[in-house]
Structure 1
Amino acid sequence: MKDVLVIDLFAGPGGLGEGISSCTDESGNKPFKIGVSVERESSAHKTLTTRAFFRKIKDSEKARKDYYKYVRGSITRDELFLLHQEEAQSALAETLHEPRALGKDNELIHKRIHDLVKGHRGPRIVIGGPPCQAYSLAGRSRNAGIKNYKAEEDHRHFLYKEYLQVISIAQPEVFVMENVRGILSAKVDGEVMFPQILKDLRNPGLVTETDDVLGYKIYSLVVDADDPKDPQYINPSDFLIRSEFYGVPQARHRVILLGVRDDIDAIPTTLNKSDQYPISVESAIGDLPALRSGFSKKKDDVKDWESTISENAIRLNRILRISNDQELVEKLNLAPLSSLNRKATLHSNFQSATIPTPLKDWLLDKDLNYVLNHETRGHMADDLLRYAFCAAYALLNNGTSPKSRDFPNQLAPKHANWDSGTHADRFRVQSANKEATTVTSHISKDGHYFIHYDPRQCRSLTVREAARLQTFPDNYFFEGTRTQQYVQVGNAVPPFLAQQIGKVVMKLLGNY
């Protein structure tokens, strides 16, 4: 089929664009070509540009080797780009050379989109999700604590109108819009916003006051359409995609809308559920090198860490005996693994990965033989004991993470609301035998919700482990500080899910 121009908005580190641009047609060609990716946050923009560069050099064995040298730290990014100047300049142009924000840099962004559309004779697709802080349940909880906060004055509620503006300019055959499930219930002035958002997306030209803009039918990707022209044809919750049913090792529930231009006489298919359910956390990350945590409040030393974990094992055994949980004491080996590092680079064990196909083929790079962004954070010594308890509890209780009521009194943190039930799952282990809970940007704050299932490692997940659960390929390199990397991963669309959406769009455009 003809090349499809992709306009990627609110791109983050590029998960949605990565998945869609990876789709191949029957001839083995990749029709989706990203023309522009717009992202305002600097570290995510740098990741986005690095990945754009990788896609452009992917078929060159020499260039790939140079890329591996960069991500392994042998050469700098500037040196890499100097070695492959044409591809580097193309990648920089794709991401507008620097971070750009819709609503702030519209003149430059809109001109770039105008130029791309004018010079392209094939189909077009707009993808992306307006920032979700104003819609997410956590974000709304934070907003409720802000004095004199008014939702109607929060510009983030209306960033989807920037999306409408681009649709009015590009007039794509198809658009894909993603957001958190909280968008279904978010309110402004007491009114639920989602019905108005759907109405606006069906008639973008009316909202942007742009003439000669066709309307759009809005489809669910998981529920067959009866009559998409009827605003009442579908329950809003039918736009919710449960990623764990589609080959993602994570219970990530997101609203994804598929808009099809009114003149397109074709109906999209829905996503096919995977026969691999659930894909467990252990199968997704179990081949990655074991690591130890560090200390956040004192000097980090491996011998000190091993001593602390050994003492914690003794204390935990004693606590468990006090609580008459002898079965747990007998079954679990809580002694720390010796000689662990806090960071791993070599990944010679990837052949042993138990990731089911096709996700395994998607994630692994046999030429990389290296693990990127795999470094632990530091934790308070008392929390290390709680982490060990959580992991041990889950192992004994078929993967169930303990609630606050399950904690022995000796392990209760000194929080005023610990017994209130408000934060019953303040400590949550990512159980080995289940899919992960939703990886969110909160993973950048602390690791309490993302405890590794192995009590001997006694730590939270690394960026790479979170990226695996989000289905980013192993050769996807995240730029910025570790905190920034966590935020990027937590905010992204799983690329493996995005690829499946791309296949639905490709089939639709092929039929059209």
Structure 2
Amino acid sequence: MNKKDKVLVIDLFAGPGGLGEGISATTDKNGKKPFDIRISVEKEPSAHKTLTTRSFFRKIRTMPKGIENYNLYLQGKLSREELFAKFPEQSELALNETLEGPKALGEDNKLIHSRIEKLISDHNGPKVVIGGPPCQAYSLAGRSRNAGIEDYKAEKDHRNFLYLEYLKVLSIAQPDVFVMENVRGILSAKINGKVMFPQILKDLRKPGRVTKIKGVPGYKIYSLVAPAENPNNPQYKNSSDFLIRAENYGIPQARHRVILLGVREDLGRVPQTIEQLQQQVTVEEVLTDLPPLRSGFSKQKDIQCDWEKQILNNSKVITKLLTKRFGEESVSTLPLTPIKGLTRFSTKKTNVKPKIPSHIKEWYLDCAPNNVLNHETRGHMTSDLLRYGYSAAFTKLNDGVSPKSRDFPVELAPEHDNWNSGSHADRFRTQAANKPATTVTSHISKDGHYFIHYDPQQCRSLTVREAARLQTFPDNYFFEGNRTQQYVQVGNAVPPYLALKIGKVVLELLTT
């Protein structure tokens, strides 16, 4: 790659931009950022709006008063329209990158394909395609939901074949490298009783054979975490070799995803694997400096003093229940009474010193805004507040192991037929302070039961900002849309810091 060349990046199924954020932030030996995202395809309106805002931010961050004006927007002192109007050229570029509005592969192919064809005809340097088809039909949860749909047939579910749209783009763009991400369920998903993954690999190696487009090069498919026995003809004994366990690579979350690295055959280059870190990052390390908040009431008028009274009463019940299990000495040291004066929403930074590990601290805090973004709690039923407090306190006393349904006293059992069946054993799951989080998913938008904050005094589920920290989004990453939409965006994203590590592997491939 010529030093002057930019790397053209085509981002498919982009979501709020997690994969693109990490790739675009990758720097070379001279501190330059060679990856240039020129098209980002996303169909969900709120995610598209977030994607566009972030594209715009990247274009103004080095400009005079760029960060200053962006921060005014984050503080609510400038509307989005006013911000964009201050930088008309960058605004136009950002809107152009995200196709002037939500677009979907398979529905808007004429526009998307023609835009890609124009980009590659005008570009002489390397090209990279990134992104992963939506995962609902591959995921274990998605399959469980589909099983309950009368006459559901996987072979007729278009979501199972969105990777074919990915193949079409590969055939048109013919990139030097592609990165394809998906849920681990893709390894075992079946169509007509046949496991799909080997066929997906076969198709990705020869996309032109599927799309019937002539002259399309072939690709070698590599794992980013497991070295191939024969690097020049990569084959892997186990499909799980393509599975990245994010908690082993500096991400504060046990997120397990399949990520495939395709390298065009004529490049004749072999990628490195990403390096594991010795120490895992914990939930408390990345959340402890964020403002403490209280939960709210979902079924009654939300009054702060009523909440404090409720949590105080709960603390007495929880103390008695836990004393029976862990003993008075252990429970007596546990803070359970409510923190006075907490609000449900805060933009004000605390004086608490961050515990974020050095390898990732700058990533979170670079160009950090003056205020905390997307940090607001949801409301919960009174009965669930007691369960949340119990779960958080139990987890603290149990060395970071959240209680299963069998660990809840009978008086705290919810009125669910399947509570004792074992199928929902961890319905109330606390994210332990001393471990990486469990996988942040879009389900966090529903009720928060799987994402209970480790502090029983706050007695609540995680906020969007806390989920974003666990996903390694920088603190200046603003999620557009309502709170539910923001949760979904965060849960569906690729951790940007993991994408940064992948970007370094890709850049080394293109420059060696």
> Any conservation in 2 of the 1:225–1:234 contact (CA below 8 Å)?
no
Change in 2 beyond 3 A, CA 1:366/1:7: closer
C-alpha separation in 2, matches of 1:377 and 1:328: 31
What residue number does 1:48 align with?
A: 51
1:211 aligns with 2:214: yes
> Any conservation in 2 of the 1:288–1:349 contact (CA below 8 Å)?
no
1:413 aligns with 2:411: no
C-alpha separation in 2, matches of 1:324 and 1:55: 51
What residue number does 1:157 align with?
A: 160
What residue number does 1:236 align with?
A: 239
Paired residue for 1:170, among 168, 173, 181? 173
C-alpha separation in 2, matches of 1:431 and 1:87: 42
Q: 1:317 is matched by which residue type in structure 2? A: T
Give secondary structure in 2 for the equivalent of 1:126.
strand
Change in 2 beyond 3 A, CA 1:211/1:319: same
C-alpha separation in 2, matches of 1:322 and 1:229: 62
What residue number does 1:134 align with?
A: 137
What residue number does 2:395 align with?
A: 394
Residues 424-452 of structure 1: per-residue CA shift (max 9 Å, x gap):
00000000000000000000001100000
C-alpha separation in 1, matches of 2:198 and 2:152: 23
Residues 463-500 of structure 1: per-residue CA shift (max 9 Å, x gap):
00000000000000000010000000000000000000
> Any conservation in 2 of the 1:186–1:193 contact (CA below 8 Å)?
yes
What residue number does 2:272 align with?
A: 269
C-alpha separation in 1, matches of 2:173 and 2:88: 29
Residues 22-55 of structure 1: per-residue CA shift (max 9 Å, x gap):
0111111100000100000000000000000000
What residue number does 2:423 align with?
A: 422
What residue number does 1:349 align with?
A: 351
Q: 2:371 is matched by which residue type in structure 1? A: Y
Paired residue for 2:256, among 253, 256, 269? 253
Change in 2 beyond 3 A, CA 1:324/1:286: closer
Residues 72-120 of structure 1: per-residue CA shift (max 9 Å, x gap):
1111100111111111111000000100000000000000000000000
C-alpha separation in 2, matches of 1:368 and 1:477: 10
Q: 1:383 is matched by which residue type in structure 2? A: D
Give secondary structure in 2 for the equivalent of 1:487.
helix
TM-score, length of structure 2 as denominator length: 0.98
Paired residue for 1:124, among 108, 123, 127? 127
Give secondary structure in 1 for the equivalent of 2:49.
helix
Using the TM superposition, give the Cα deviation of residue 318 of structure 1 relative to its aligned residue in structure 2, in angstroms: 2.8
Structure 2 matches for 1:489-500, cutoff 5 A? 489-500=490-501
C-alpha separation in 1, matches of 2:390 and 2:48: 39
> Any conservation in 2 of the 1:309–1:336 contact (CA below 8 Å)?
yes
Using the TM superposition, give the Cα deviation of residue 230 of structure 1 relative to its aligned residue in structure 2, in angstroms: 5.0
Using the TM superposition, give the Cα deviation of residue 366 of structure 1 relative to its aligned residue in structure 2, in angstroms: 5.4
What residue number does 1:332 align with?
A: 334
> Any conservation in 2 of the 1:217–1:228 contact (CA below 8 Å)?
no
What residue number does 2:311 align with?
A: 309
Using the TM superposition, give the Cα deviation of residue 331 of structure 1 relative to its aligned residue in structure 2, in angstroms: 2.0
C-alpha separation in 2, matches of 1:233 and 1:430: 34
What residue number does 1:198 align with?
A: 201
C-alpha separation in 1, matches of 2:367 and 2:94: 25
TM-score, length of structure 1 as denominator length: 0.98
Change in 2 beyond 3 A, CA 1:4/1:333: same
Question: When the two structures are aligned, how many residues end up with a matched partner?
Answer: 509
Q: 2:280 is matched by which residue type in structure 1? A: P
Give secondary structure in 2 for the equivalent of 1:503.
helix
What residue number does 1:39 align with?
A: 42
What residue number does 1:83 align with?
A: 86
Percent pairwise identity: 65
Change in 2 beyond 3 A, CA 1:13/1:213: same
Give secondary structure in 1 for the equivalent of 2:152.
coil
Structure 2 matches for 1:275-290, cutoff 5 A? 275=278, 277-290=279-292
Paired residue for 1:107, among 105, 110, 117? 110
Give secondary structure in 2 for the equivalent of 1:263.
helix
Residues 374-433 of structure 1: per-residue CA shift (max 9 Å, x gap):
000000011111111111111111101000111111111111111111100000000000
Q: Which runs of 5+ in 1 are unaligned?
A: none
What residue number does 2:458 align with?
A: 457
Q: Which runs of 5+ in 2 are unaligned?
A: none
Using the TM superposition, give the Cα deviation of residue 231 of structure 1 relative to its aligned residue in structure 2, in angstroms: 7.1
C-alpha separation in 2, matches of 1:413 and 1:444: 20
Change in 2 beyond 3 A, CA 1:489/1:379: same
C-alpha separation in 2, matches of 1:274 and 1:302: 43
What residue number does 1:296 align with?
A: 298
Using the TM superposition, give the Cα deviation of residue 235 of structure 1 relative to its aligned residue in structure 2, in angstroms: 1.8
Change in 2 beyond 3 A, CA 1:360/1:406: same
Q: 2:78 is matched by which residue type in structure 1? A: I
What residue number does 1:440 align with?
A: 441
What residue number does 1:19 align with?
A: 22
Using the TM superposition, give the Cα deviation of residue 346 of structure 1 relative to its aligned residue in structure 2, in angstroms: 1.3
Change in 2 beyond 3 A, CA 1:401/1:152: same
Give secondary structure in 1 for the equivalent of 2:267.
coil
C-alpha separation in 1, matches of 2:453 and 2:475: 19
C-alpha separation in 2, matches of 1:469 and 1:324: 30
C-alpha separation in 2, matches of 1:308 and 1:418: 25
Give secondary structure in 1 for the equivalent of 2:289.
coil
Residues 277-329 of structure 1: per-residue CA shift (max 9 Å, x gap):
21110001110000000011111110110011111111222333455732343
C-alpha separation in 1, matches of 2:234 and 2:505: 22
Using the TM superposition, give the Cα deviation of residue 229 of structure 1 relative to its aligned residue in structure 2, in angstroms: 6.3
CA RMSD of aligned residues (A): 1.2
C-alpha separation in 2, matches of 1:343 and 1:484: 17
> Any conservation in 2 of the 1:9–1:38 contact (CA below 8 Å)?
yes
